[in-house]
Structure 1
Amino acid sequence: MATPSSFAGGDQHYLRTEQYADASKLALRARLHERYSTAEVPWFDWVAERLDIPAGASVLEVGCGAGWLWAQGDHTVPSGVSIELTDLSQGMVDEAVERVSSTGLFSSVSGRVADLQRLPFDDGSKHLVVANHMLYHLPDPSAGVAELGRVVAPDGVVVAATNGVRHMREVRAIRAEVFGEATTDLTTEVFGADSGFALLRARFDDVRWLQHHDELRCTEPQHVVDYMCSTPPGESADAETLDALRTAIADVFAANDDVMTITKDTGLFICR
């Protein structure tokens, strides 16, 4: 049975064959963020505004997921730019390549299964490397950071998105109540806004953190249930525990005029 540590800094087999075999579980989490965001600029558009892609560049996205960053963000991509999409999961790579190819943004789109801790690319071969909310999945994030630094060109940029310690704290409080978990977030312990800065600063001379301002105002309790059941331990909870989860979420909605406000604490590292 998968545990929270399987998701954060843990079990690569679980991530490849269960959590990210396809985009279905990721889509449940994405739905909550997309539908209930109050941000002035949506996340993918905000990221797009901060990606400086030169003409003719070679772009790499590691842990590409379903390719939503490029399909949903309002990107301006100059001519002659190629992109390589990598993920542990063949299902994710296939979906991402199809989706990104359909945007027409890039002169060429390719994909392959690859582990960020051991990338199959030459030193200094990529002008832009993007790691969007994935470094906290690595058993050894320092090895992943070292690989990012190895494959990026001397004048290139690494962009790494992650979360801070306040992220989704209302959800974590319910998890603690129902599942007996600690209220701390394992993903931010592995690679968050604070822990990630230290890891990146050990490899890059210039590391900047940019904060995306947002919070969620959820009006449908089932969407919060679905979110919490898309990762361990909720994804394997028994019927009795699921009933307790639904009750705990319903109580939060009832106490707050049928709206659950959820803190977001998300941003980007820009590394040179």
Structure 2
Amino acid sequence: MPQYYTSGEFAEKAHVSIRTIRYYDQRNLLKPATRTKGGARRYTDQDFAKLQQILLLKYLGFSLSDIREMTIGSGDVQFLLNSLQIQKRLAEERLEEMKNVIVAIDSTSQALKSNQQVDWSKMLNLIHLTSMNQSLSIQYKNATNISARIRLHRDYSVNKEGWFPWLFSNLHLKPGMKVLELGAGNGALWSQNIDNVPTGVTVVLSDISEGMLADAKKAIGDHSQFQYAVFDAQKIPFADNTFDLVIANHMLFYCDDIPKTLKEVRRVLKPGASFVCSTYSKRHMHEITDLVQSYNSNIVLSSTNLYERFGLDNGEQILQPYFEDVTCHKYQDAIELSESMPIISYILSCHGNQNSILLDHYQDFKQYVDHKVENGFYITKDAGYFSAKKV
């Protein structure tokens, strides 16, 4: 039998106030394991573990609404691992930030002692860094969401070659080429193929998120042929006719102005150089959408159907005004599994309203998915890329 704690005992054990415990209950962050007949809260050691997780995430700068989403199903190992991954990244970022603070304070103190001119801009930069904590939290949360989606494809796909090795093999890289990847994310295209990158190829990885590029740099390691740049693909900071190849892997549909982005891609490509951009169709992974809709028809996994903005069905038409020889290449694959957690992790990583609906029904939803997948679950994959050339 589990040991139960009163609210007072539980608060004292965690070194927080009873008011905090009650507030977390009211906000649906931490419900008591049970209540007495008189309505008094009772907590267990498992609740204590969840409270420690909440307090740490709060310390690392996450909002209570973020924490509420991140601690759904915190008793499940994969969810706990995802949360710990975020916490570790943010702790490392905070440690690096504090080292910079110490260096700047020492430098300023030394200048004052020596009656030298103080570079106050360094201190202002530190204030700017400190104010970035919340945005870093969002970036790392997004990175973990992307990892959840990649894991589902990597571990349960029928085609064992894998998307990134397949796409990489179709780039046909040659020594001396200069390559730009737009929206490179965590750099998986390169980190998974690092031993096959030809000598003499220069690769610029770009993303609008500095945190994502930091993850890419860690994953790829110390390789001088890789460069990293933070910018919006709608305004590429390179001269005309710079690159032999530009890659946009599942990112064009995120651009606010796709035509503007395509004009920029064409501008920085050398004459005769190639543009490779991947996407998917309406049929891609429709079984997951059907699954959540059958559980609750109000759940929408994405507020925008990205394939409608740039997909396999309309991509050729969108690219043709800007490029020649537009060709579609399909990746033959599907997902088969009989486990619920990879699917649930994928669902909760989406950008729709699913978390707000599932927050208070997680165990019920997990049982529902368990039943649906116990005899095997098939997921359609309909993805590929377009290749095109600049005239």
Name the residue aligned to 2:348.
Answer: 229
Establish whether residue 203 from structure 1 lines up as the match of residue 322 from structure 2: yes
Give the structure-2-normalised TM-score. 0.60
Partner SS state of residue 324, structure 2 = coil
Shift of 1:72: 1.0
CA RMSD of aligned residues (A): 2.6
2:272 is equivalent to residue 161 of structure 1: no
Q: C-alpha separation between the residues in 2 aligned to 1:219 and 1:234? A: 22
Q: Which amino acid aligns with 2:298?
A: G
Q: Look up the match of 1:261.
A: 378
Bigger shift: residues 108-117 or 234-243:
234-243
Over the matched positions of the two proteins, sequence identity in percent amounts to 31
Q: Distance in 2 between matches of 1:196 and 1:132?
A: 13
TM-score by length of 1: 0.84
* Structure 2, unpaired ranges of 5+: 1-64, 67-134
Is the CA contact 1:20–1:89 (under 8 Å) kept in the aligned structure 2? no
Say which SS state the counterpart of residue 171 (structure 2) adopts. coil
Residues 1:246 and 2:363 are matched in the alignment: no
**Shift in Å at residue 20 of structure 1?**
6.1
Residue 262 of structure 2 corresponds to 145
Q: Work out whether residues 132 and 161 of structure 1, in 8 Å CA contact, stay in contact via their aligned partners in 2.
A: yes
Give the equivalent residue in structure 2 for 1:6: none
**Higher helix proportion:** 2
Secondary structure of 1:239's match?
A: helix
Q: Which residue of 2 aligns with 1:180?
A: 298
User: Are 2:300 and 2:353, in contact at CA under 8 Å, matched by a contact in 1?
Assistant: no
- The 3-state SS of whatever aligns with 2:282 is coil
- CA 1:53–1:136: 2 relative to 1, 3 Å: same
Which structure would you say has the larger Rg?
Answer: 2
Q: Which amino acid letter does the alignment assign opposite residue 269 of structure 1? A: F
Whose RCO is larger (CA < 8 A, sep 6+)?
A: 1
Report the CA distance shift for 1:135/1:262 in structure 2 as closer, same or farther (over 3 A): same
The match for 1:85 among 177, 185, 205 is: 205
Q: Structure 1: which amino acid aligns with 2:315?
A: G
- The question of whether the paired residues in 1 share the 8 Å contact of 2:253 and 2:310 is answered with yes
Q: How many residues align?
A: 255
Residue 183 to residue 96, structure 1, CA distance change in 2 (3 Å):
closer
Contact 2:301 2:354 in 1 (8 A): no
Unaligned runs of 5+ in 1: 3-14
Structure 1 residues 164-173 or 75-84, which shifts more?
75-84
Residue of structure 1 in register with 2:241 after alignment: 124
Alpha-carbon distance in structure 2 between the residues aligned to 1:158 and 1:144:
12
Instruction: State how far apart, in whole Å, the 2-side matches of 1:180 and 1:216 are.
Output: 25
CA 1:182–1:29 in 2, change beyond 3 Å: closer, same or farther? closer
Deviation at 1:192, TM superposition (A): 0.9
Q: Does 1:55 align with 2:175?
A: yes
Q: Which range is displaced more, 85-94 or 18-27?
A: 18-27
